[in-house]
């Protein structure tokens, strides 16, 4: 059985420090999404926080990442490396 490694990180949202606990795969994908949108991870998490109606922030982030993944947008880490970049 595979052990899930949950990583807790602090994020500042609207001037308040909060912590979010996610598995490594969710952090990686969330960073990929932020990179693709040219925004900080904290900006995405702040948007998620402002739109969630129930549940905790970590769960809301997981659902956001799941929805984006299901939408067919591959994380940057899964995109092929262009030939010129491999040199």
Break the chain into its structural domains and give their ranges: 6-76
HSE-CB for 41 with a 13 A CA cutoff:
15
Q: Give the DSSP letter of residue 82.
A: P
- The CATH fold of domain 6-76: Ribbon-helix-helix fold (1.10.3990)
| pLDDT tens-place values along the chain, 87 residues long | 556 689 999 999 989 999 999 999 999 999 999 998 999 999 999 999 999 887 899 999 999 999 998 887 655 555 555 555 444
- The span from the CA of 48 to the CA of 2, in Å, is 29
Q: What is the pLDDT of residue 83?
A: 56
Q: What is the pTM of this model?
A: 0.76
> Looking at beta carbons, which pairs linking 67-72 to residues 24 or more positions away fall under 8 Å?
68/29, 68/33, 69/29
DSSP letters for 15-26? TEEEEEEEEHHH
């Amino acid at each position: 059985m595979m052990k899930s490694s949950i990583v807790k990180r602090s994020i500042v949202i609207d001037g308040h420090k909060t912590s979010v606990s996610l598995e490594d795969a969710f952090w990686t994908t969330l960073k990929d999404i932020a990179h693709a949108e040219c925004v900080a991870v904290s900006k995405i998490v702040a948007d998620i926080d402002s739109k969630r109606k129930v549940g905790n922030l970590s769960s809301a982030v997981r659902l956001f990442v799941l929805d984006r993944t299901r939408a067919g947008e591959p994380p940057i880490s899964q995109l092929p490396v262009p030939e010129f970049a491999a040199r």
